[in-house]
Amino acid sequence: MPLSKITTSVNNLFRTIKINGEVMQSTYNQLTELVEHHLAVIYNDIELAQSYQEIAHQLLDTMGFKENVQITPPLRHHNNWTQEDAVLITYGDSIESPGEKPLSTLHTFLTDCCAKNINSVHILPFFPYSSDDGFSVIDYSSVNESLGDWDDIKRIASDFRLMSDVVINHCSSRSAWFDNFVKGEGPGSDFFFTASPDEDLSNVVRPRISPLLRETETAKGIEHVWCTFSHDQVDFDFRNPKVLQTFVSIIRQYLDNGVRIFRLDAVAFLWKKIGTSCINLEQTHEAVRLLRTLIEYAQPDAIIITETNIPNRENLAYLGNANEAHAIYNFSLPPLLVNTLITGDCHYLKSWLMSMPPAQNGTTYFNFIASHDGIGLRPAEGLLEDEELTVLVNTMQNFGGRISWRASENGQQKAYEINIALYDALQGTTKGTDKWGFQRFMCAHAIMLGLEGIPGIYIHSLLATSNDYERVKNTSHNRAINRHKWQYDTLKEQLDSPYSQHHRVLNAMGDLLTIRRQQVAFHPNATQFTLQLGSKIFGFWRQSIDRRQSIFCLSNICDEIQEVHLSDINLVGTDEWIDLITKQPIYATDCSIELAPYQTMWISNLPKR
């Protein structure tokens, strides 16, 4: 059956489960049929030893569904998030204390410093690993002993909504699965994708410049194993349904240990087909749809976020028709926002925001401007001109940043990622460092916190951590520059000092988060429109879903005072208005307002008396 007809059939089946807006009770058999349809798309041109029905039953059994039991389908187009949600992104050992498990120290920090304003935490891979700071997983079923154990994970999950990585494209070459592949027997022996170096692989899209195939001596002879990222990260072969079944069991285990947000790492590369680009293939999209079906039927408040560091248009496709990822990383935001603040011109950021479709209910954006990785440049392709990208790269290098490279279509090296701590990245402009670093840094976060979507704040942004050159030297990895490890006693001293950048930023960030979580117009799915206020003022308007609250978000993105004419934003004269950040009233009868360099105003109407 053609893929288009199978997809239509899946959508029709969803409609039988929800009729006229009323959720009906679904039987095990109906859910089985839905999963079968997903499998039919994924394995459409693969000859399988089992029927789709047999595989579907195995998947449902793994997720804990029982036959002859009524199942309540999840609410479609339902938002499992509000303006109160904010996610802290951190490694399990970003903060350490002597003699204490890092996950325990992290829990203490979260409770003491974050609980008032942050309700969710993304703990980056906390499993045993061999490289890539956790993203080359040796064992998916256990917690890295150097961090703690599952009890520590569950304690954090009991106080914060827990987000975990599912490193689904590849695993470590030191895993038991890959050992069995080499031996040719046991679990994992048929889990990995191989190809011949004689095949035409010229169309394959890669984020790295290392050779794609790893020559490996096995019991069956020389095999060439597919490695999208590095030769220590060997790619799975999802043409084998046992790989899918294994990851469903991993997801079930994570649910049982309190995980409620699943980050599908590097999922765009999941399905490989010789002769294609091997990225964003239809089978990959359908695999995400299948995982969404299984996860939200098993745990209705759980969500999937796809990590697809690719051009913007391709990234948007992972939202599907509110039937794929619940959220996607807004990968274009970091390079565009940093570019805006170092050039003092919001043209490109504004054009991008105007082009972004509002997320359907049941989907949203995951906004971030810093992470454990760097500032990805592929998501800026087609949005920033080559000249702008060159200026951005050169400016970041002047501020101590490093550049990671990839091979372009014509075989030349191309900048793939800027590696730099965000606090240092915003300490100046294209003209050099200046006195506005703190204001510029907070302006970036005020813009992000106001935008449609759920905000994710990297721990080293929350703490205003600077470039860690020592870690780069010790690890020889560029990304280590923004993966500092704090000693908790040292950190507490800095946070207690009113003169430190760390104290100043943590308090200012807390103030913005406190304001944000109280505004219904900042709901991730509230209406958003881009304002036309010239190149120096970046502005957008948010309106609550019930239309009772409006917020005009205005940011001066340059180092000179800027004037905004109130006639340009049309404040309703019958409403009272206030800047939520300064608490100063704004009068619709005034002609204009002034914004200091890098100042943000959140101008909101007040409830009618």
* pLDDT of amino acid 26: 67
Q: What is the pLDDT of residues 358-373, one digit of tens each?
A: 999 999 999 999 999 9
* pLDDT of amino acid 4: 47
* pLDDT classification of 101: cutoffs 50, 70, 90: very high
The pLDDT of 437-445, averaged and rounded, is 98
* pLDDT of amino acid 68: 77
Q: Which two tokens stand for residue 510?
A: 């807390």
* pLDDT of amino acid 409: 64
The pLDDT of 383-405, averaged and rounded, is 94
Residues making up the binding site: 132, 170, 263-265, 372-373, 479
Long-range contacts of 495-503 (CB under 8 A, 24+ apart): 495/113, 495/463, 501/423, 501/438, 501/464, 502/463, 502/464, 502/465
Q: Is the pLDDT of residue 387 over 60?
A: yes
Residues making up the binding site for substrate: 132, 170, 263-265, 372-373, 479
Segment among 153-167, 248-262, 445-459, 560-574 with least mean pLDDT: 560-574
Segment among 38-47, 201-210, 555-564, 572-581 with least mean pLDDT: 201-210
The pLDDT of 87-101, averaged and rounded, is 98
Give percent helix, percent strand, percent coil of the chain, each to the nearest 5.
35, 20, 40
* Distance from C-alpha of 385 to C-alpha of 390, rounded to nearest angstrom: 9
Q: Rounded to the nearest 5°, which phi and psi values hold at 595?
A: -115, 125
Q: Which two tokens stand for residue 106?
A: 């992290």
CA 451 to chain centroid, in Å, comes to 15
For this structure, is 424 an active site residue? no
The pLDDT of 501-515, averaged and rounded, is 98
- The DSSP secondary-structure symbol of 417 reads E
* Distance from C-alpha of 337 to C-alpha of 340, rounded to nearest angstrom: 5
* Distance from C-alpha of 597 to C-alpha of 492, rounded to nearest angstrom: 31
Q: Would you tell me how many other CB atoms lie within 10 Å of the CB of residue 339?
A: 24
Q: Is the pLDDT of residue 13 over 70?
A: no
* Distance from C-alpha of 448 to C-alpha of 367, rounded to nearest angstrom: 7
- The DSSP secondary-structure symbol of 478 reads G
* pLDDT classification of 316: cutoffs 50, 70, 90: very high
- The single-letter code of the amino acid at 492 is K
- The single-letter code of the amino acid at 155 is R
Q: Is the pLDDT of residue 125 over 90?
A: yes
Q: Is the pLDDT of residue 5 over 70?
A: no
Q: Which two tokens stand for residue 517?
A: 């979580």
458 versus 22: which is more confidently predicted? 458
Domains, the chain, ordered by start: 3-77+174-235 (3.90.400.10), 527-605 (2.60.40.1180)
Q: Three-state SS for 291?
A: helix
- The single-letter code of the amino acid at 134 is G
pTM of the predicted model as reported, rounded to 2 decimal places: 0.94
* pLDDT classification of 72: cutoffs 50, 70, 90: confident
Residues 6+ positions from 505 with CB-CB distance below 8 Å = 423, 438, 441, 442, 461, 462, 463, 464
For the chain, the average pLDDT equals 93
The pLDDT of 146-163, averaged and rounded, is 98
* Distance from C-alpha of 71 to C-alpha of 27, rounded to nearest angstrom: 6
The DSSP code sequence of 24-68 is: PPB-HHHHHHHHHHHHHHHTTT---SS-HHHHHHHHHHHHT--TT
Q: Which two tokens stand for residue 345?
A: 């011109």
* pLDDT of amino acid 573: 85
The DSSP code sequence of 349-379 is: HHHHHHHSPPPPTT-EEEE-S--SS-EESGG
Determine which one of 232, 265, 424, 468 is catalytic: 265
Query: Are residues 423 and 407 in contact, defined by beta-carbon separation less than 8 angstroms?
Result: no
Q: Which two tokens stand for residue 475?
A: 């690890």
Closest to 537 in 3D by CA, of 516, 572, 563, 570: 563
Query: Are residues 592 and 568 in contact, defined by beta-carbon separation less than 8 angstroms?
Result: no
The pLDDT of 496-503, averaged and rounded, is 96
The pLDDT of 312-321, averaged and rounded, is 95
Query: Are residues 546 and 520 in contact, defined by beta-carbon separation less than 8 angstroms?
Result: yes
Query: Are residues 594 and 563 in contact, defined by beta-carbon separation less than 8 angstroms?
Result: yes
Share of the chain above pLDDT 90, in %: 87
502 versus 10: which is more confidently predicted? 502
CA 607 to chain centroid, in Å, comes to 35
* 450: Cα within 13 Å, side-chain hemisphere: 29
- The DSSP secondary-structure symbol of 267 reads G
Q: Which two tokens stand for residue 606?
A: 């007040």
